[in-house]
Structure 1
């Protein structure tokens, strides 16, 4: 069995001992929320908590190599991805302190290049944030909710405790009304010339590093529209649909596409050649229903109605359900539309080898999603 992350190692050894998550947490002297965060890879519960779980489950030293200690530097592959973006992006640790920022993040947020700089702390404490963010109150409320949720998960983190106290002070001292539609997920920047540009804040967990988060700021004015609602024709996509989205879970290299018949393969031979069409269909079964949930379908229907009323011709009617969207993917979507859905929903897909190293259908796929905070 190929185990890719510390969380999977922990889950495997817990299953061998037939222990419930709550039982492991109690034996390790941590909260159940801390344990679940470790196993699911949703947050870093603290090095002490991790060591306690490892000791309780008696995980052999060899499998502990899958653990990446908190504050360990970025590997070359993750660093190259970060600096390959042409938009602001930075990697932060479990305490929201900067680990590494690309040049665009440093231009937008000059302080982000300093070791220990914290974006939530900057938003909640800095006068500069109040001056630069036209919707500072809404953004601060969203940050307060985010910090409160992580604090409630019981993560053993002194910096998070301090941020929570700052967030609580902001919440009690603010007289501005806040609701779920206040727009705090978008950062509106004041400029000397105007109009104010906005960026959408996306947060994801890098593959294999549950102790880190990637914060990506996408300029709102240049965000691509949903591929099913493009009123203007876009540049047609020619090539493998998953190009630059697939990486090998063994060596970390991007998988290449091509050949006749077309396949995806690892340059170092870690994985057997994978038929492109079959892998794309398998990925679509996961990605498409997620990209077209009930809320998304309702929003797309409203957008389609507005565009139609304005005289725009739609290339394809929006789906009414995720199952309908998958049917359109198979029967009526162009490769350009399919590629647009993939790049809008997925940041990367990691392919892990099967037990025998031969049958790719049994390989595990791990998705790093693009999601709004």
Structure 2
């Protein structure tokens, strides 16, 4: 739950935003700049050095950063990830851009009558811990009563986790250190855009998010990539639930029988062995 170098304003078309701010060219430039910083160069790792490490011409790599995506040999792709010092999620995003994402089928709200009772039973069994299920665009598929008590916004017909977390004033009050959360949520959106670049619903969500000035600034500041937030520990300010700040850890499971869905439970922060002494 709670996974650039361009600073222009969002374009009118949601699709153009996705291409301009989430494409491979932007990521490569950002990763190359970060690699230079990690090597202590004081500037981005030169294109010629990246190309040399790959056994390719500088022109070839320059075209890659300009948005041309040639046929990439898996070995070249792996070497590129090594040279740019990419982590696992960033490597996955690079793979998605080079070879295409996994064609997840996004279940529609009206097309799940057989699945919903089973999913509902699963989340209800997590009581009293809040639990919910989202689809590939973070629309809320189902939730238990604890989730609704903690976060009443899930009761709305068009409830969407990312939209709420990034654009709602309520979220900025309830998520302690909101900007840190926002960075991660935006990183998750960037991962999803790499995985499913032609998803119109995802592009529309990104366009909506980037209308918010704070989100736009955070999006252009860093090109982080995060696949999911499993194991993430964070704090919540929910006075209607508890007077003190609540500390929780997120558990994210991907149901094998429902590709694209995420089953999420907000558990208690685990105590250390010393706490029991």
TM-score (ref. length: structure 1): 0.39
Q: Which runs of 4+ in 1 moved over 6 A?
A: 175-180
Q: Does the Cα contact within 8 Å between 1:198 and 1:219 map onto a contact in 2?
A: yes
Aligned residue in 1 for 2:153 = 111
CA–CA distance in structure 2, aligned partners of residues 190 and 75 of structure 1: 31
Which of 79, 91, 99 is the equivalent residue of 2:141? 99
CA–CA distance in structure 1, aligned partners of residues 247 and 168 of structure 2: 19
Relative distance call for 1:231 and 1:46 in structure 2 (3 A) is closer
Relative distance call for 1:128 and 1:209 in structure 2 (3 A) is same
* Secondary structure of 1:150 counterpart: helix
CA–CA distance in structure 2, aligned partners of residues 96 and 208 of structure 1: 18
Aligned residue in 1 for 2:251 = 202
Q: Does the Cα contact within 8 Å between 2:130 and 2:266 map onto a contact in 1?
A: yes
RMSD between superposed Cα atoms in Å: 3.8
Aligned residue in 2 for 1:215 = 264
**Please, which runs of 5 or more residues in structure 1 have no aligned partner?**
1-21, 23-29, 39-43, 48-67, 233-311, 313-373
Aligned residue in 2 for 1:249 = none
Aligned residue in 1 for 2:112 = 72
Q: CA deviation at 1:177?
A: 9.0
Relative distance call for 1:69 and 1:113 in structure 2 (3 A) is closer
**Please, which runs of 5 or more residues in structure 2 have no aligned partner?**
1-73, 75-96
CA–CA distance in structure 1, aligned partners of residues 233 and 111 of structure 2: 28
Aligned residue in 2 for 1:81 = 122
Higher RCO, Cα 8 Å, sep 6+: 2
Aligned residue in 2 for 1:164 = 206
Q: CA deviation at 1:162?
A: 2.3
Q: CA deviation at 1:94?
A: 1.8
Aligned residue in 2 for 1:345 = none
Aligned residue in 1 for 2:237 = 190
Q: Does the Cα contact within 8 Å between 1:71 and 1:93 map onto a contact in 2?
A: no
Which of 106, 114, 133 is the equivalent residue of 2:175? 133
Relative distance call for 1:113 and 1:202 in structure 2 (3 A) is same
CA–CA distance in structure 1, aligned partners of residues 130 and 164 of structure 2: 16
CA–CA distance in structure 2, aligned partners of residues 102 and 109 of structure 1: 11
Relative distance call for 1:117 and 1:191 in structure 2 (3 A) is closer
* Secondary structure of 2:100 counterpart: helix
Q: How many residues align?
A: 171
Relative distance call for 1:71 and 1:108 in structure 2 (3 A) is farther
Relative distance call for 1:230 and 1:209 in structure 2 (3 A) is farther
Which of 209, 217, 240 is the equivalent residue of 1:173? 217
TM-score (ref. length: structure 2): 0.51
CA–CA distance in structure 1, aligned partners of residues 111 and 271 of structure 2: 34
* Secondary structure of 1:139 counterpart: helix
CA–CA distance in structure 2, aligned partners of residues 206 and 157 of structure 1: 21
CA–CA distance in structure 2, aligned partners of residues 199 and 129 of structure 1: 16
